[in-house]
Each structure stands twice: as structure tokens, then as C-alpha cells.
């Protein structure tokens, strides 16, 4: 079957750096997405990776290794507003999105 694994919860300190990992096993691969979801709100798009390597966008970066079925989201200079859930999703060979359960990130002062 198809599977996306992410840690359930992580805690980090304001101003620090945190890495949220995502491993996947899917039938085919046509890209990986990261979304941010604040409590009680809708998911919003953060990043998209289809080739191996690092994509940087301000304080957020996303890395992909297709051979390892692995991605991570790196958040730098953490702010309290970064407290949210981070969802990893993979687009499979049929262009269907498979979603992870999300990682709840708690930022402490």
C-alpha cells in the first residue's frame, strides 16, 4: 500500500532551527508538497519538490531524495507564529495526492 510517515509532534525553541522529516512509499512519484496548517484553519501551500535537492524559500527550505523516498522541511529562525501542523503529500503515478497525517510543531519561548 501507499504510505507517508511523519513524526506526530515536535517541540522547538523560538529562534532555533527545526527539521521535519517525511518518508514515503508510493506507487510512482510525481512530486512532493509541504503544506502548513494552523489550528482550526485550512492548509496553505509551502513548497514543492520534484527533483532531488534543496529548495529554499526565505526561512523555509525543503529537501528531496527520490532514491531514499525521503524529504524534510527545514524551518530557520523559528517564530511563535510557526506553531502549526506541517503536512507532507506525495503525488503518485496517477497524479493522486497521498497525504501524511501531519507533524504538529510546538514553539516554546
Binding site for other proteins (CB under 8 A): 4, 33, 41-45, 48, 87, 89, 91, 95-102
Torsion of CA 10, 12, 16, 17, to 10 degrees: 0
CB of 43 to other proteins, least distance (A): 5
CB of 92 to other proteins, least distance (A): 9
Measured from the CB atom, is 14 or 56 closer to other proteins? 56
Q: Smallest Cα–Cα separation from 14: which of 62, 83, 87, 102?
A: 83
End-to-end CA, the chain: 40
Q: Smallest Cα–Cα separation from 87: which of 29, 25, 7?
A: 7
Radius of gyration of the chain (CA): 13
Measured from the CB atom, is 72 or 78 closer to other proteins? 72
CB of 4 to other proteins, least distance (A): 7
Measured from the CB atom, is 12 or 43 closer to other proteins? 43
Amino acid at each position: 500500500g501507499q504510505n507517508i510517515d511523519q513524526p506526530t509532534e515536535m517541540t522547538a525553541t523560538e529562534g532555533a532551527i527545526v527539521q521535519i522529516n517525511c518518508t514515503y512509499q508510493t506507487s510512482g512519484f510525481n512530486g512532493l508538497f509541504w503544506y502548513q496548517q494552523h489550528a482550526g484553519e485550512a492548509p496553505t501551500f509551502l513548497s514543492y519538490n520534484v527533483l532531488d535537492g534543496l529548495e529554499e524559500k526565505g526561512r523555509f527550505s525543503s529537501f528531496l531524495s527520490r532514491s531514499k523516498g525521503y524529504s524534510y522541511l527545514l524551518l530557520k529562525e523559528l517564530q511563535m507564529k510557526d506553531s502549526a501542523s506541517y503536512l507532507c503529500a506525495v503525488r503518485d503515478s496517477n497524479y493522486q495526492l497521498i497525504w501524511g497525517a501531519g507533524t504538529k510543531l510546538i514553539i516554546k519561548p
